Amino acid sequence: MEFTLNYKNIMLPLIMMLLFVYLGYGQDYTCSRATYYGSPDCLGNPTGACGYGEYGRTVNNGYVAGVHRPYRNGTGCGGCYQVRCKTGDCTDDGVVVVATDFGVGDWTDFLFTAKAYAKMARPGLEAQLLSYGVVDIEYRRVPCTFRGSNLIVTVHEGTKYPYYFAITIVYPMGLYDVVGVQIWQEDCQEWRPMRKPFGAVWDMENPPRGGGAYRIRFLLSISGSTNDATWVESPTPIPAYWKAGANYELTIKL
């Protein structure tokens, strides 16, 4: 059955997002541990499990992390987390990182870049914190604030127009998870589901043809489950003649 875009479909997720933004800073922290890995430029891993490529290295000025429990089979990719360590060397605010990879260490949930790990320390105590290697932490999901608020997708480099279409959800921004994606098939008058092969990548073989722009909708969940999820169609379609590597900003907020 065709999904009808109306005021309620657009505003309900936005209202819920604002509510969770307001309540999010009162949410309980989850206790865990964190460590870090070294890289020549202190930035992220360009071959991370989320499928972000170079974006996963530099997003949020390199304050990124591989995550374990928050990864959730890729559903947590792109989410922002406030993480603070629990020793006397640590600030009260900690660091806000973007989940760009899967990573697990010595019973850890966060595998930081060295830059992000050191950000948790009080001024002048960065080297001391780094010397620990692993620290106890507490973390919570927070809205991302490092750029605009609209959802952005990138057409994956492995796409082959017009036979194979794949996108990477690179900037979910809010507290919602994307747990489903569908493309409208005009000739059949039905929504076709995209497959999630890994990370934040969604794909479709033999995508719709005919020259029309792609209507696209997303199944959004605050819990990462389909039980409380809502379908929301983007008012901005993806151009019919999409190109591999192109970024498309959709006028939809998560």
**Domain-wise residue ranges, the chain:** 7-13+147-253, 25-142
Q: What is the pLDDT of residues 79-97, one digit of tens each?
A: 999 999 999 999 999 999 9
Structure tokens at 43: 């930035």
Task: Give tens-digit pLDDT for 102-121.
Answer: 998 889 999 999 999 999 99
Helices and strands of the chain, counted as H and E runs: 4, 15
* pLDDT value, residue 91: 98
Residue 228 pLDDT: 85
Q: Do domains 7-13+147-253 and 25-142 have the same CATH topology?
A: no
Label residue 198 by pLDDT band (50, 70, 90). Answer: very high
pLDDT of residue 25: 46
Which pLDDT band holds residue 132 (cuts at 50, 70, 90)?
very high
Query: The pTM is what?
Result: 0.84
Helix (H, G, I), strand (E, B) or coil at 162: coil
- Enter the CATH code of domain 7-13+147-253: 2.60.40.760
25-142: which CATH number, 2.40.160.20, 3.30.1330.10, 2.40.50.140, 2.40.40.10?
2.40.40.10
Mean pLDDT of the chain: 87
Nearest-angstrom CA–CA distance, 157 and 167: 9
